[in-house]
């Protein structure tokens, strides 16, 4: 079986697919790619099923040796990659010759870059998914971030090679945003009008201690009249909870499955991948949208991804 040998892992590189949904009753969150749009795009480029397992690199990429030939695509943020010293374009299927080394540098835009390889990366799935769940040390490659010396196995291709590449327009329209669109959270009503106003007009900064479990935000604190904690309930992906101190936390892919803080809003499905590209110190704002808008934005995004005519011209 063909391999990828990890010569240096980068800052935090994990194996991810589209996650394991359905284990909420056990307290297991879905995990999966922080920017699933980029993962899907990368897999489309190399002719994989959209949910094939790939490498998710964070802020600083790694160095990977390919002993055999391979077809790869780098998607998501531009980390300035080079193959034996030759620059590799983002969002382009690239042939790798046996013995070549891919060096992925540090980010020039957002938080995450995906390395997809034709055939996908193969591991024993945990609960039906190859995604790494870092908190519990489960799934992915031995349940952890990659280390120097790890050897990844590449699976056999399961579909014919695509002939074209995504159009610039499609990629542009799928690019991450810093103005996150949100729907009202289940406790939206428990926040007084001035608090809601502050939330929707303030700029928030992503804190350093943000990760795949959640993004902590710094900025204008949001205060509620009634006491902070409520009866613990299930929390959804992208929920924006307000902690006792009034600062928001966006619950993310490796989130806790239940929680006791009030949720003021929830990032819409079409903008979740944008959350995955946020870096510490990035500045973001929130824009309220109605349920119908949230739905039509997601439908438009899926259309863009599903339509080969739009993507591959």
Partner 1 sequence: MSAAPAEPVQFKRASDRSLLIYFGHKITRQAHEDVRRLLCLLELEPIPGVRNLHPAYCSLLVTFDPLQSHHDRLEKILLQYIGRLDKVALPEPREVEIPVCYGGDYGPDLIDVSSLHGMTPEQVIALHSSSSYLVYFLGFVPGFAYLGGLPEALVTPRLATPRRKVPFGSVGIAGNQTGVYPVSTPGGWRLLGRTPISIFRPERKDLSLLAIGDSVRFAPISPTQFAALERA
**Contact footprint for partner 1 (CB under 8 A):** 21-28, 30, 126, 133, 135-138, 183-186, 231-239, 256-259, 263, 266-269, 291, 294-295, 298-299, 302
Minimal distance in Å, beta carbon 201 to partner 1? 22
- Least spacing, CB of residue 134 vs partner 1, in Å: 11
Give the pair of three-digit tokens for residue 18: 């589209």
To partner 1, the closest distance from the beta carbon of 42 in angstroms equals: 21
Give me the least distance between CB of 259 and partner 1, in Å please: 7
| Identity of the residue, 84 or 233, whose beta carbon is nearer to partner 1 in the bound complex | 233
144 class by beta-carbon count within 10 Å (0-12 exposed, 13-18 middle, 19+ buried) = middle
Q: Which is nearer to partner 1, 4 or 268 (CB)?
A: 268
Q: 48 or 183: whose CB is closer to partner 1?
A: 183
Closest CA to 113 of 103, 121, 127, 122: 103
The least distance separating partner 1 from the CB of residue 176, rounded to whole angstroms, comes to: 18
- 90 or 255: CB nearest partner 1: 255
| In contact, 72 and 96? CB cutoff 8 Å | yes
> Residue 238 Cβ, how far from partner 1 at the closest point, in Å?
6
CA atoms within 13 A on the CB side of 305: 21
In angstroms, give the least distance from the CB of 227 to partner 1: 13
The radius of gyration of the chain from alpha carbons, rounded to an integer in Å, stands at 20
In contact, 265 and 198? CB cutoff 8 Å: no
Least distance CB 235 / partner 1 (angstroms): 7
Based on CB atoms, which residue is closest to partner 1, 202 or 269?
Answer: 269
How far apart (Å, rounded) are the C-alpha atoms in residues 272 and 191?
24
Question: In terms of CB distance, is 40 or 118 closer to partner 1?
Answer: 40
Q: Which residues contact 192 (CB under 8 A, 6 or more apart)?
A: 223, 224, 225
Pick 198 or 289: Cβ nearer partner 1? 289
Buried b (16+ CB within 10 A) or exposed e, 281-313: eeebebeebeeeebeebeeebeebbeeeeebee
How far apart are CB 118 and partner 1 at their closest, in Å?
A: 27
Closer residue to partner 1 (CB): 152 or 267:
267
Who contacts 236 (Cβ-Cβ below 8 Å, separation ≥6)? 251, 266
What are the CA-CA distances from residue 30 to residues 33, 92, 120, 262, 305 (Å)? 10, 29, 20, 22, 22
Nearer to partner 1, 18 or 88 (CB): 18
Taken as a whole, the chain contains a residue count of 313
Nearest to 131 by CA among 228, 44, 56, 232: 56
Tokens standing for 57?
């690199």
């Amino acid at each position: 079986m063909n391999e990828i040998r990890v010569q240096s892992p980068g800052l935090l590189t994990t194996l991810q697919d589209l996650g394991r949904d359905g284990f909420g009753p056990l307290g297991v969150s879905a995990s999966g790619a922080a920017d699933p749009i980029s993962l899907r795009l990368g897999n489309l480029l190399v002719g994989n099923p959209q949910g094939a397992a790939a490498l998710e690199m964070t802020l600083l990429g790694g160095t990977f040796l390919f002993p055999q030939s391979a077809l790869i695509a780098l998607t998501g943020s531009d980390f300035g990659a080079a193959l034996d010293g030759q620059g590799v374009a983002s969002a382009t299927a690239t042939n790798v010759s046996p013995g070549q080394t891919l060096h992925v540098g540090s980010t020039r835009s957002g938080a995450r870059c995906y390395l997809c390889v034709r055939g996908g990366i193969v591991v024993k799935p945990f609960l039906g998914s190859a995604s790494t769940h870092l908190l519990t040390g489960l799934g992915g490659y031995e349940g952890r971030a990659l280390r120097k010396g790890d050897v990844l196995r590449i699976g056999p291709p399961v579909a014919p090679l695509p002939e074209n590449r995504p159009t610039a327009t499609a990629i542009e329209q799928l690019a991450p945003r810093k103005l996150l669109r949100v729907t009202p959270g289940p406790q939206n009503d428990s926040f007084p009008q001035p608090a809601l106003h502050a939330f929707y007009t303030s700029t928030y900064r992503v804190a350093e201690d943000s990760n795949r479990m959640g993004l902590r935000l710094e900025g204008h604190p949001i205060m509620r009249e009634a006491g902070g904690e409520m009866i613990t309930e299930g929390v959804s992906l992208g929920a924006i909870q307000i902690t006792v101190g009034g600062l928001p936390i966006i619950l993310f892919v490796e989130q806790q499955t239940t929680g006791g803080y009030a949720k003021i809003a929830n990032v819409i499905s079409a903008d979740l991948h944008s959350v995955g590209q946020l870096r510490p110190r990035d500045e973001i704002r929130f824009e309220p949208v109605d349920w119908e808008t949230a739905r039509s934005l997601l439908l438009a995004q899926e259309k863009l991804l599903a339509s080969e005519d739009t993507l591959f011209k």
